[in-house]
Structures are given as C-alpha cells and as structure tokens.
Structure 1
Amino acid sequence: MTVTDTDVFAQEWAAWHEEHERKRASAHGFLAITSMRWLAEEPEMYVDVPGAWSSGQDGIVVSLAPGESLVVDGVEITGRHSFGVIDEGGGVTALFGDAAVEIANRGGSAIIRPRHPDNPVLTGYRGTEAYAPDPRWAIQGRFVAYDPPVPTTVGSVVDGLEHVYEAVGEIEFEVDGAAYRLIAFPGSAPGSLHVLFRDGTSGRTTYAATRSLSVEAPDAKGDVLIDFNRATNLPCAYTAHATCPLPPAANRLSIAVEAGEKMPA
C-alpha cells in the first residue's frame, strides 16, 4: 500500500468513525437510556416514562392515565394500549415530549428502556479513543458457510440471560502466518456478517466483555475483508442498561488485535 493509499485508508476510517460516533451520541441512542425495566404481570409505574407497564398473554401493555400519551409511528395513543407479543431481539419505539421509550424482548423477557436526551451519560460523552487506523489489520479472509445455519447460545453481560443466534458460518484468516477462525452471525445488511470477539487486548486497552465487527457480504468465491480497524464497542461498554451478548467461546482470539475502538473513558 502506497503512502497515498495509506492516507486514503486513514481518511475513510476517520469519516466512518465520525459517523459511528454521531449515531452513538444521538438524542435517543443508548447513551440516553436512564433505566432498564423488566416487566411482570402486575402493572408498575416508573419515574422516567408515562404509564403503568406490564407483560402477560397480551404481550406488553401500557395503561396511560388521563393527560398522559405516547406517540407510536406518528399516532398518539392514550388509555390502555397493547403492543402485542414482541419477537426476540425486536422492539418498538414510542415518543413522549423530547424523550423516547424502547419496548422490547431480550432473552425471552419483556423490557422497556426510557431514553432521555438530557441523561448525564449522553451529555457528558466526549467520544471514544481508538487505535490509529492500520492497513495491517484489514485482512483478506474466507467465509465458510454452515449448511444449515447452527443455532448458537451465547451469554450476556446480564447474569443469567442468554441469547440464541443463528451462526451462518466461519471466517478464516491469517495473522503473521498463523491461522484463525471466527464464528459469524447474520449482519444488518442482506448477506453481511456480524462477529463478536475478544482478544489479547480485552480488559487491557479494549473493553473486556466483547467487541463487535461488521463484515460486508462475501463475494462469489467466499472472500471477505475483515477490517479490525472498524471493531466497535457494544452499548454495554457505556451503560449498565444493556443486554449485550458475549462472544462464542471459539471467538476468543489468542492474539492482541491492536485495532479498533479502545476502552471507553
């Protein structure tokens, strides 16, 4: 890679990380979460969100008092409202004033997470330090698909909570001549991949529990680019109100991946 190529690589990384930071610090992002409530059959009220909330056969239900309302998909709701049974990993966002509340299902349990733009975690956020972008850590790899995908249970930063994801295959790659593999889950874009991993920097210079990496869809030959410079922290690195998954045991790399985001201040 030439000096010019290296400069372009660094500029593209900087633009990507700036956009990632902008999304992280959005008004209703994870830094704005003020609490995480695990719902039960008995309705309960909370100080940071309107209504009395419960979960039962009808799914998640809110009962709003006179004068209280929420806005869902542009429609104002009042009184008793059922959000129905929400699929695992799914969620609905409702707005009230300048705040929002996430209504979701995590680990088989119904939760709500109010999000307020004046939350001190958000207003005090000053960015996340990262390793300087290094082309050495943008590695060509090969994706080997599972046929069929394999349901894979992983732990969570919440004690006793587990997540089950469909592992779609493994990414094979080399560092300094040594071979490594990472189990991959489906990514957010069609055909893309998502990797959770730990490595020799975890708990030292990077967040101890896990780091996250998005990988673009493999080409027709299964070739992929795994760019560790774009490894990011999950929300649990910033807030206690998160249910982030932990990496599969096989994704605990013995090498120190000195690339990507570092441990938050």
Structure 2
Amino acid sequence: MTTVSAAHPTDPAPASFARDWRAWHDERDRSLAAPHGFLAITSMRWLTPEPTRFEDAPGTWSTDEDGTVLVELSDGETLTVDGEPLPRRHRFTGLPDGGSVSAGSGDLVVEVARRGGRPVLRPRNPANPLRTGFTGTPAYAPDPRWARPGRFLPFDAPRPVTVGAVVEGLEHVLTAPGEIEFAIDGVTHRLTAFNGGRPGALFVLFTDATSGVTTYAANRSLSIAPPDAGGRVTVDFNRAVNLPCAYTDLATCPLPPRENRLAPAVEAGERLPRGRGGTA
C-alpha cells in the first residue's frame, strides 16, 4: 500500500491557522444554538397508526400503512409549512427516508421526518433548557499537524453502505463514492467516504482511541472539500465535529462503518460536550 507523507507541504502559519479555526468553531457553536437547532428538540416520537396527542406539539398525529404522516388540528391549533397554513386535516406525503419537513406553530417548530423507513416527530422549542443552557463545545487546540494531506480513491461506481444508528434497531443507508487515504505517524489509513452536502464534497464518520475518553464514544464526522484534479484532499481533523447525538438522546445519528475505526488517538477537533461529561 502506498504511504502518504505525514508532512503537509503547505501548512499555514500557526497564527492564521488558529484564527481561521476559531472563526469556524465559533460559527459551529452559533449554529448549534440556533433557535430551532438540535439543542431545541424536546422529544422524539415514533408515530404509529394510533392517533396520538403530545404535550409539546399541536395536533393529533398518526401514520398509515405506507408511512404517510397524518395530523388533525383542534380548534385554536395552527401549523404552517413555508408560511402557508395547513388545513385541519393534513397528510405529509412523499417524505423520503432521511428527509424532513418543518411545520411552524408560533415559536415552535415541529420536524416531521422519516428515519430508517419509520416516521418520526421531533418538536423544537427555543426555550428548551438544553439550548438555553448551552455554553459552547469543548475542543482540542488547533494544530496544523492534524491537517493531513490525503488522496481520494474512487470506487468504480458509488456503493450503498448500510450502517447502524445510535437508536437500537435503526439503520441508515449512505452512498459511498470511494475512500480517503492519508497517513498518521507514517502509517497509512483508509476511511470509507460518503457524499457530502454539495457536489463533489465528502464526509467521513469515524471513531479513534479518544472515543469514549475525551471525545464522544459513538462517532465524529469530518467534512472534506471536493478533491482536486489529481484526487488530492486535505483531511483536517481539527474540524472533526460531534453529531447531534453527542448532545441529546433525541437523535438518530449514523454510526461509522467498521473500517472507519481508527486505532490512533486523534487529539483534534470537538470533544465531549459539557453536558456529557466533557470539560473545557
């Protein structure tokens, strides 16, 4: 197997590197603390055919045999989607697995989603104590040595990869276009990479020797910019982030595939949140 050099030929100056990382990390914390972000989730309700009311969401909710979500509003209850009021009886149809729709009711947002083929409801309230008490995510100090040069090794064709989830019995199917190869202390590693949020971008789910010690046990995620024409990428573990499940049990985050469990301690990126035992 080819060994990728551990030294990065274009390491930025430490001051600018730290400044850029701090701006990124501050934006991450602002996003987490958004009024209707993951810290605002107050419950996770797996819907059934039995019409049910919940204390933290308007309406009576149920699902039918094909997974369509139904809501019936009582007098004085309202929900809007994209600013348009819903009728008293409404069906959320065509919801793909992994997709969601946000329905608003005053300051409340109700997320209607499908995860692992199952319909789920997650109300989000800006007054949730997990959000109002959030003081930021601990992280390792930025270190240019953890910005590793790497290569993208594409598969002949993208592959569907089934991974577990933090919710027992739930699975996610992610599309993997290839692998990312890089080195730590002269030892070459490869991680299965999944499609990112924009064309050509990638992300990896991984654990390492810090997982369950100073970082969240189940997973961390790292976004990777699209490879250049030669397949070169930068694997910057300083920007490894927690998934929502690191902060709340009301999440359905995917787990890394077995081959993405790194043996070395990646002492970079986000650490355990304070509410999960983390420290600054």
Superposition TM-score tier, normalisation by shorter sequence = over 0.9
Is 1:49 matched up with 2:57? yes
The one-letter amino acid of 2:271's match is: K
Aligned to 1:253, which of 238, 262, 267? 262
The one-letter amino acid of 2:168's match is: D
Q: Unmatched 5+ residue regions in structure 1? A: none
Aligned to 1:152, which of 154, 161, 174? 161
Match of 2:277 in 1: none
Match of 2:102 in 1: 93
Q: Secondary structure at the match of 2:212?
A: coil
Quick one: distance in 2 between partners of 1:2 and 1:114? 45
Aligned to 1:29, which of 31, 37, 50? 37
C-alpha deviation, 1:148, in angstroms: 1.0
Quick one: distance in 2 between partners of 1:192 and 1:4? 22
User: Matches of residues 218-237 of structure 1 in structure 2 within 5 Å?
Assistant: 218-237=227-246
C-alpha deviation, 1:78, in angstroms: 3.1
Conserved 8 A contact 1:60-1:85: no
C-alpha deviation, 1:85, in angstroms: 3.1
Moved over 6 A (4+): 1-4
Conserved 8 A contact 2:209-2:265: yes
Is 1:77 matched up with 2:61? no
The one-letter amino acid of 1:263's match is: L
Quick one: distance in 1 between partners of 2:136 and 2:145? 24
Is 1:191 matched up with 2:195? no
Conserved 8 A contact 2:67-2:118: no
Quick one: distance in 1 between partners of 2:204 and 2:25? 18
Match of 2:150 in 1: 141
CA-to-aligned-CA distance 1:29-57 (integer Å, 9 cap, x gap): 00000000001112111000000111113
Match of 1:7 in 2: 15
Match of 1:169 in 2: 178
Q: Secondary structure at the match of 1:10?
A: helix
C-alpha deviation, 1:2, in angstroms: 10
Quick one: distance in 2 between partners of 1:103 and 1:173? 39
Q: Secondary structure at the match of 1:26?
A: coil
CA separation of 1:60 and 1:200: change in aligned 2, threshold 3 A: same
CA-to-aligned-CA distance 1:191-249 (integer Å, 9 cap, x gap): 10011000010001100000011000001111001100000000001111000000000
CA-to-aligned-CA distance 1:169-208 (integer Å, 9 cap, x gap): 1000011111001100000011100110000100011000
**Normalization by structure 1: what TM-score?**
0.97
Q: Secondary structure at the match of 1:174?
A: strand
Match of 1:264 in 2: 273
Q: Secondary structure at the match of 2:251?
A: coil
Identity of aligned residues (%): 58
CA separation of 1:255 and 1:66: change in aligned 2, threshold 3 A: same
Aligned to 2:27, which of 10, 14, 19? 19
**Normalization by structure 2: what TM-score?**
0.92
Q: CA RMSD in A?
A: 1.4
Quick one: distance in 2 between partners of 1:58 and 1:188? 26
